């Protein structure tokens, strides 16, 4: 659909007369062919009489609510794009709307330019515009991005691998890379968890001082600790494996990462490591959904 040459037909459904009139006028001035309806029943009649290109539907209305109206719309119009307007941020209504295949939620009061831009972006795409939550498998990174190490290797091996993998020499010096973790396996190739920079830093802290209420640090202690930790096993650094099943929703993964203060989370399928979900992946997905 060429949105520059076609006046898009828009149905605005809202029980507030002033809002409906003002919004209809503003959208008409921005090139839309606007029809409005004061309630769900009138909206269904309008759709059956002349199918619009998009419906902008208020969530809170007397009689048929926005969700109930959407249910009725979906009985006959499975692919009609619907944008829900809400001033309440109702989670249950949002989930119901997503299941009924809305294309977006917008908060009232609505910025008209933003609404018009949203509609044009949605209808100018040759893709499914349904508001669909992507899966962990769709946004995770492959394990091949990370170096591997075995749990029975000494810490000195881990340091060497980290230095070689995470720092790339350049003409200007050393340039750090984005990957800051290594995958740890046993000799049967069973995945055991991540080795992270912070895990090695913990080894540098003297245990006897860490447990003391009168901790004092002084110059020279760091070098002494470095000499002591090289032959310790990576096994000493590993804690309980925290992971997420690939079939879990993204919010389950986000909860684990926040609760355990993790920047990356192993993704498992039937006991096998198949991916790594990073905090940046979820942040990018948040940004993607805000911008469509």
pLDDT at 177: 58
| Distance of alpha carbon 78 from alpha carbon 120, whole angstroms | 20
Q: Are 222 and 267 part of one and the same domain?
A: yes
For residue 3, tell me if it sits in a domain.
no
pLDDT at 4: 46
Backbone dihedral angles phi then psi of residue 168, each to the nearest 5 degrees: -110, 120
Quick one: tokens of 52?
């619009």
Q: Are 179 and 103 part of one and the same domain?
A: no
Count of residues for the chain? 292
Q: Are 197 and 101 part of one and the same domain?
A: no
The candidate with the shortest Cα–Cα distance to 254, out of 275, 288, 282, is 282
- Judging by DSSP bridges, how do beta strands 244-245 and 264-269 pair with one another? parallel
Q: Are 154 and 122 part of one and the same domain?
A: no
| Distance of alpha carbon 60 from alpha carbon 64, whole angstroms | 9
| Distance of alpha carbon 265 from alpha carbon 192, whole angstroms | 12
pLDDT at 232: 85
Q: Are 144 and 97 part of one and the same domain?
A: no
Q: What is the CATH number of the domain that holds 38?
A: 3.40.50.2300
Q: Are 169 and 283 part of one and the same domain?
A: yes
pLDDT in tens, the chain (292 residues): 444 446 889 999 999 999 999 999 999 999 999 999 999 999 999 999 999 999 999 988 888 888 899 889 988 988 888 888 887 556 666 667 666 667 777 888 888 988 888 788 777 654 455 667 789 999 999 999 899 999 999 989 988 888 877 766 555 554 445 678 899 999 999 999 999 888 888 888 877 666 666 667 778 888 888 888 887 889 888 889 999 999 999 999 999 999 999 999 999 999 999 999 999 999 998 887 775 5
For residue 1, tell me if it sits in a domain.
no
The parent domain of residue 101 ranges over: 9-132
Which residue stretches of the chain are H helix? 17-29, 40-49, 66-76, 91-99, 112-123, 136-139, 155-166, 197-204, 207-210, 221-229, 250-259, 279-290
| Distance of alpha carbon 84 from alpha carbon 107, whole angstroms | 9
Report the phi/psi class of residue 202: left, alpha or beta, with left for phi > 0 and alpha for psi in -120 to 50. Answer: alpha
Number of separate domains in the chain: 2
Q: What is the CATH number of the domain that holds 235?
A: 3.10.580.10
* pTM as predicted: 0.68
């Amino acid at each position: 659909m060429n949105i520059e040459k076609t006046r898009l037909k828009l149905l605005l459904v809202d029980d507030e007369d002033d809002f409906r009139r003002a919004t209809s006028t503003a959208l008409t001035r921005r090139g839309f062919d606007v029809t409005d309806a004061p309630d769900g029943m009138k909206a269904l009649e309008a759709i059956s009489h002349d199918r619009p290109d998009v419906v902008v539907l208020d969530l809170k209305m007397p009689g048929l609510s926005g969700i109930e109206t959407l249910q009725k719309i979906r009985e006959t119009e499975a692919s009609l794009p619907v944008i829900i307007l809400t001033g309440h941020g109702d989670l249950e209504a949002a989930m119901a709307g997503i299941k009924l295949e809305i294309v977006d939620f917008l908060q009232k009061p609505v910025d008209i330019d933003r609404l018009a831009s949203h509609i044009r972006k949605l209808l100018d795409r040759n893709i499914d515009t349904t508001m669909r939550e992507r899966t962990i498998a769709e946004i995770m990174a492959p394990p091949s991005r990370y170096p591997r190490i075995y749990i029975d290797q000494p810490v000195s091996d881990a340091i060497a691998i980290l230095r070689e993998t995470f720092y790339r020499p350049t003409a200007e010096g050393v340039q750090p890379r984005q990957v800051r973790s290594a995958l740890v396996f046993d000799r049967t190739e069973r995945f055991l968890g991540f080795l992270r920079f912070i895990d090695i830093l913990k080894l540098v802290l003297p245990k006897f001082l860490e447990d003391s209420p009168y901790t004092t640090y002084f110059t020279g202690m760091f070098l002494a600790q470095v000499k002591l930790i090289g032959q310790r096993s990576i096994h000493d650094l590993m804690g309980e494996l925290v992971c997420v099943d690939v079939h879990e929703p993204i919010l389950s993964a986000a909860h684990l990462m926040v609760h355990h203060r993790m920047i990356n989370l192993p993704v498992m399928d039937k006991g096998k490591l198949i991916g790594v979900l990073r905090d940046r992946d979820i942040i990018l997905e948040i940004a993607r959904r805000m911008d469509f």
